[in-house]
Structure 1
Amino acid sequence: MDEISLIRRFWEPLGRAVTHPAVREGIGNDGAVIRCEPGQDAVVAVDTLVEGVHFPATIDPYALGWRALAVNLSDLAAMGAEPVCYTLALTLPRADEDWLEAFSGGLRDLSVRHGIQLVGGDTTRGPLTITIQVQGRVPSGTAMRRGGAAPGDRVCVSGSLGSAGEALKWLDTSPGNNPDVRAVLARYFYPQPRLALGGWLRERGVAAIDVSDGLVSDLGQLLGEAGRGARLDYAALPIAPELATLAGSQARKLAASAGDDYELCFLWPLALGEVPESTDEGVPLTVIGEVEAEPGVRLMDGNDPVELAYGGYSHFSGGANDDS
């Protein structure tokens, strides 16, 4: 199958699966044409996933399509943006039609769920690598940004943490009939971008970040722009029952340091009152700590500091991610 045939069979139908009103021209031209409406700002994010680094070679291609788009949508959620469109640059070792059918199916199902349209990209031969760029929009001047933290702001997270980190131990095994293993693997393979929550937080003017590299590492980035720190309550970190069963006493250390959960961590000013216990969609919201004037993130179990052997994922430094 040559490149033109591949585009016509897989990418053009995928580009028609969602028709966003802001897209004037999509697949079929040298470039996409997107309408920029008055009073709106564009939000653009991009992620690259490399086989053996970001996902195992044995991953189901449907799950890979879902995951590749989900991690990018999570960035839009952290900015409070509404999804509009995306491009796909796919490098393949070979044009396997069955693999492409499943991979495009994962992309299609998540794109339809969130109303985001494929508008173009590129397909080349080489080691399996996926780059997706997403574009969203927000009312002008309202995008959520890092920084702006004030002492007393409550540190909060959505959902639960650590399950995707536990899943890494099970990627090369069969879950069989173990529901706990299946549950943590689902958290890794099928992230749920918190787009509705992101929009709700944007309307309240809070700061947020998605938990991709580990809570302590990502929170440090969120606070660093303001020169603030935070004290976190180790016992308050939300964990799912299946993580508690599988990881035991290590469950909350995974919640503090493991990445790939793609929940939102956000700062809730005291002026906004009490933090709701959940979103309208039923996603739990948990207060896990408080912003302090002293820089640095301090993880405390009562009056005792908790030391983490692993501070968060980084491609190059081997420590906390530097977001470079």
Structure 2
Amino acid sequence: MAERPGEFELIERYFRPLASDPGAFGLTDDVAVYVPPPGEDLVLKADQIVAGVHFFAGDPPSAIASKGLRVNLSDLASKGATPVGYLLSMALPDDWNEDWLRDFSAGLAADQALFGVSLFGGDTTRAAGGLTVSIAAFGRVPAGSVIRRAGAAPGDVVFVSGTIGDSALGLRIRLGTLDSMPAGKAADHLLDRYLLPQPRLALAPVLLRFATSSLDVSDGLVGDFAHICRASGVGGEIDADAVPLSAGARALVDSDKSALASVLAGGDDYEILSTVPEADAERFAAEAAEAGVPVTRIGRVVEGKAPPVVLGVNGQPLSLDAASHVHF
């Protein structure tokens, strides 16, 4: 067996080509430098993904790389930020090889070109257990304009982008925990949504113009709306029938009683949940559609500080065992 390259060889071979911004110094220094343009703030975000928790150890290396980067870019999008770059830290298991790392770095290179970001630095080490990928991403927004969780007000309309529940159902397909297992294009779509999030960066400038609060749906639709309500000191309602579903998710919800709970609380959708004043709701939806990101009105913000309520048939509250997925 050929001897595996050391840390500095790995950096030179696989990561230095990703450090295209001058502030990264070609990964030849201990730090990097980025100065935001005048009148803009820096927005920072860090997320890690872990084998056996956020992805399967046997998933394609390029997809693992993409997921690690995209979950961070999704958070930046929800804050109205334009992404700039990221730091990458990896703990590699004992069985890694160069083919794996080559495919991993190729996944990062493809997403860098797609989303317009650059690697600025990071670290590599050996893992005591499974693979861990930690990324700290950063972006920029006009000064003072970052969209926080706090800011929702009674009377605001609740919107969500794309479709909800696909990732959680894709995971359940892989785990084999559904009563009826979809096949063909429907299954492929759900599996792909689990493996490859789609950060809604095109929605960011629209959010800046209209949103009073926003976050990405990573812990689950109901749980993440609860984060907004708690931070804003308000209550809220979600109409379960209004939650947008893909064709595959709709078929599963209709055939498996447990699927609806996965849709509402499963997590890992990486869609954008936002609140918008009623007076701006139509313009927000129209401009989001023009940006290529469909949004759906799913509820409203109300007075009070209680957790949000999910309304089902005839407006009756639904009872969920859990409001969100627990990653810890």
TM-score above 0.5: yes
Change (3 A) 1:272 1:281: closer
SS at match of 1:123: strand
Give 1:132's match in structure 2, choosing from 130, 135, 145: 135
**Counterparts of 2:281 and 2:52, CA distance in 1:** 45
2:157–2:281 contact (8 Å) kept in structure 1 = no
Deviates further, 282-291 or 213-222: 282-291
- Tell me which amino acid in the other structure corresponds to 1:280: E
Q: Deviations over 1:83-109 (max 9, x none)?
A: 111010011014411111111111111
Alignment of 1:291 with 2:297, yes or no, is no
- Where do 5+ consecutive residues of structure 2 fail to align? none
Distance 1:61 1:204, change over 3 A: same
Separation (CA, whole Å) in 2 of partners of 1:258 and 1:315: 11
Q: What letter corresponds to residue 257 of structure 1 in structure 2?
A: A
CA distance in 2, matches of 1:139, 1:223: 25
Identical aligned residues as a percent:
40
Rounded to whole Å, the distance in 1 between the matches of 2:327 and 2:175 is 22
| 2:106 aligned residue | 105
Task: Answer whether contact 1:66 1:190 (CA < 8 A) is retained.
Answer: yes
Q: Distance in 1 between matches of 2:324 and 2:24?
A: 41
1:7 Cα shift? 0.7
Could you say which residue in structure 2 is the equivalent of 1:77?
A: 77
- Distance apart, 1:272 and its partner CA: 1.6
TM-score by length of 1: 0.90
Instruction: Return the alpha-carbon distance in structure 2 between the equivalents of residues 26 and 138 of structure 1.
Output: 26
Distance 1:306 1:177 in 2: 29
Q: Is the 8 A contact 1:166 1:247 kept in 2?
A: no
The RMSD of aligned alpha carbons is 1.9
Tell me the equivalent position of 1:322: none
The worse-fitting range, judged by mean Cα deviation, of 275-284 and 183-192 is 275-284
Q: Which has the higher helix share?
A: 2
Secondary structure of residue in 2 paired with 1:33: coil
Inter-partner Cα distance in structure 2 for 1:172 and 1:121: 33
**How many aligned residue pairs are there?**
311
Change (3 A) 1:26 1:195: farther
* Aligned position for 2:164: 161
| Structure 1 segments (4+ residues) deviating >4 Å | none
Distance 1:212 1:121, change over 3 A: same
In structure 1, C-alpha distance between the alignment counterparts of 2:184 and 2:37, rounded to whole Å: 50
Quote the residue 2:47 is aligned against.
Answer: 47
CA contact (8 A) 1:144 1:205 kept: yes
C-alpha displacement of 1:280: 2.1
Q: Bigger CA drift: 184-193 or 238-247?
A: 238-247
